[in-house]
Structure 1
Amino acid sequence: MERDLISRLAHADHPIAAPLGDAAVTALLERALPRGDEHLLDLGCGGGEWLLRALALVPGATAEGVDVSEAALDHARREAERRGLAERLTLHQTDAAGFVPGQPADVVFCVGATHAFGGLLQALAAARKVLAPGGRVVVGEGYWEREPSAAAVEVLGDLADLPTTVETITADGWVPLYGHLSTRHELDDYEWNWTGSLAARGLDQPDVLAIAAAHRDEWLRGYRDCFGFATLLLAPLS
């Protein structure tokens, strides 16, 4: 099964493709959109849930989303129509790393998608290029809560701890204005939804069940006890 279709099925019951609950998402959006007429851009938008919730919360906002997945963008379009938000949302199927918007964005989102740029600093560099003066960035990145096992590193790659992650961001010329550290409940809820949603839609498909089981095993035996996730609201230094 194609990777983007797996992701779409796995996020069916947790449309925010990151370990954040609804209250945390709303709090971040309220901080990021104080004016009410912002233009938003999500680099690696997936199913567009961050943008859809922002548009519902702030009726004066407009938004663009960029992703390479046709399945994810089709889902975003259907949801935008269903929620009456389609007129304020434009979607682009292209590589987010090279995307140039028609206008600078007041808020750039890149939550759980920094890998598409080659890492955190590369994602922030791309966001800076498309950010309007006085704009903000909402970025979500994993970190190690404690020393990872070799199995965890093999699955998730070379992450830093939280203080080092924040220091790396500030050294790159960004000021954290707000942040959310995913709770144990949010982290576990995300993984149970990912594996369970995929399995529920593939009970008659052994290959789909195998993918869900392999992910569940990587989580429970590999990174559950050492992985954390931070979502930060950032402003560039002038």
Structure 2
Amino acid sequence: MDDELNALRRTRMRWNTPLSEAHASVLLDRLDLGEGPHLVDLGCGWGELLLRASERAPALRVTGVDADEVALARGRSAARERGLAVEFTSSDAATWDTPVERAFCIGAAHVFGSTKAGLAGLARVVPSGRLLYGDGFWAAPPNPAALEIFGPDTLTLPELVDTAADAGWRVRHLSVADQLEWDDFESTSRAGWEEWLAAHPADPRAGEVREWLDRRLREYVRDYRGVLGLAYLVLTR
């Protein structure tokens, strides 16, 4: 897909994770932003949660790191519109090597290679402080299709917690996305393209967009709804 359509697909999404406003507020509370002078979001996308953190703690130095230029442009535009001094950096998040006191890494462990490698690498990023870590887990035994979509390295929730402990983290907070959060996430991930498709049915790209939308909905309701979970851990060292 071209950059125009890639940007359009996410226009109805608040953030690129299954998370409600109320749940996000709880996570930011648990992160205790006032005690950390520098917050970095590794794999920030357009950084909406990062912007919320900056609004809560204006004295905080805030940096988002991602390789997706389309998402970064959206984040920079939002920061300007809201008068927030948030820096968005185009880089491979796994190469960040400056220690900070607070960090986010939500749905981005894959940039390190695996959950285990991600939690170990993030321990070097946050040698002392708090990390908000979000990752998928099997909430129910996966069928072969779900395994193919998400890969064999996805853990169960107990395995995820054990992996964090093995990397030297302590769990200060644990919560998981509920079904409404997941349904809203999946619906908004399709909404931008559904609106575009309704307005441009004869566009040469319409067939490819329609195929993607139909496949995504089919996979969600048949293969991983209620099977794939998303855990949010606030971790300390």
Q: If the length of structure 1 is used for normalisation, what is the TM-score?
A: 0.90
1:228, CA displacement in angstroms? Answer: 0.8
Question: What stretches of structure 2 of length at least 5 have no aligned partner?
Answer: 201-205
Match of 1:210 in 2: 211
- Separation in structure 2 between the aligned mates of residue 164 and residue 14 of structure 1, nearest angstrom: 30
Match of 2:71 in 1: 72
- Separation in structure 2 between the aligned mates of residue 157 and residue 6 of structure 1, nearest angstrom: 27
- Separation in structure 2 between the aligned mates of residue 172 and residue 7 of structure 1, nearest angstrom: 35
- Separation in structure 2 between the aligned mates of residue 69 and residue 99 of structure 1, nearest angstrom: 16
Q: Deviations over 1:100-124 (max 9, x none)?
A: 34xx321111101111211112222
Question: What stretches of structure 1 of length at least 5 have no aligned partner?
Answer: none
Letter in 2 for 1:193: T
1:235, CA displacement in angstroms? Answer: 0.7
Q: Which moved more, 1:179-188 or 1:36-45?
A: 36-45
Match of 1:109 in 2: 104
Q: Within the alignment, does 1:63 sit opposite 2:73 as a pair?
A: no
Letter in 2 for 1:120: T
Cα distance 1:89–1:114, how it changes in 2: closer, same or farther (>3 A)? same
Match of 1:175 in 2: 170
Match of 1:18 in 2: 17
Letter in 2 for 1:235: T
Cα distance 1:5–1:233, how it changes in 2: closer, same or farther (>3 A)? farther
Match of 1:222 in 2: 223
For residue 125 of structure 1, the aligned residue among 120, 125, 130 is: 120
Q: Within the alignment, does 1:152 sit opposite 2:146 as a pair?
A: yes
1:34, CA displacement in angstroms? Answer: 4.4
Cα distance 1:57–1:222, how it changes in 2: closer, same or farther (>3 A)? same
- Separation in structure 1 between the aligned mates of residue 188 and residue 33 of structure 2, nearest angstrom: 31
Letter in 2 for 1:89: V
- Separation in structure 2 between the aligned mates of residue 21 and residue 235 of structure 1, nearest angstrom: 24
1:37, CA displacement in angstroms? Answer: 5.4
Match of 2:234 in 1: 233
- Separation in structure 1 between the aligned mates of residue 36 and residue 64 of structure 2, nearest angstrom: 17
Match of 1:91, SS state, is: strand
- Separation in structure 2 between the aligned mates of residue 198 and residue 229 of structure 1, nearest angstrom: 24
- Separation in structure 2 between the aligned mates of residue 225 and residue 6 of structure 1, nearest angstrom: 29
- Separation in structure 2 between the aligned mates of residue 77 and residue 52 of structure 1, nearest angstrom: 10
Q: Deviations over 1:99-151 (max 9, x none)?
A: 234xx3211111011112111122222222222x5311111011111111001
8 Å contact from structure 1 (residues 195, 213) kept in 2: no
- Separation in structure 1 between the aligned mates of residue 22 and residue 143 of structure 2, nearest angstrom: 31
Match of 1:134 in 2: 128
Cα distance 1:130–1:119, how it changes in 2: closer, same or farther (>3 A)? same
- Separation in structure 2 between the aligned mates of residue 202 and residue 47 of structure 1, nearest angstrom: 23
1:79, CA displacement in angstroms? Answer: 0.2
Q: Give the fraction of aligned pairs with identical amino acids, expressed as a percent.
A: 34
1:22, CA displacement in angstroms? Answer: 0.8
Q: If the length of structure 2 is used for normalisation, what is the TM-score?
A: 0.90
1:160, CA displacement in angstroms? Answer: 1.7
8 Å contact from structure 1 (residues 177, 234) kept in 2: yes
Letter in 1 for 2:217: R
- Separation in structure 1 between the aligned mates of residue 47 and residue 4 of structure 2, nearest angstrom: 15
8 Å contact from structure 1 (residues 15, 47) kept in 2: no
Match of 2:183 in 1: 188
Match of 1:201, SS state, is: helix
8 Å contact from structure 1 (residues 28, 179) kept in 2: no
For residue 91 of structure 2, the aligned residue among 94, 100, 105 is: 94
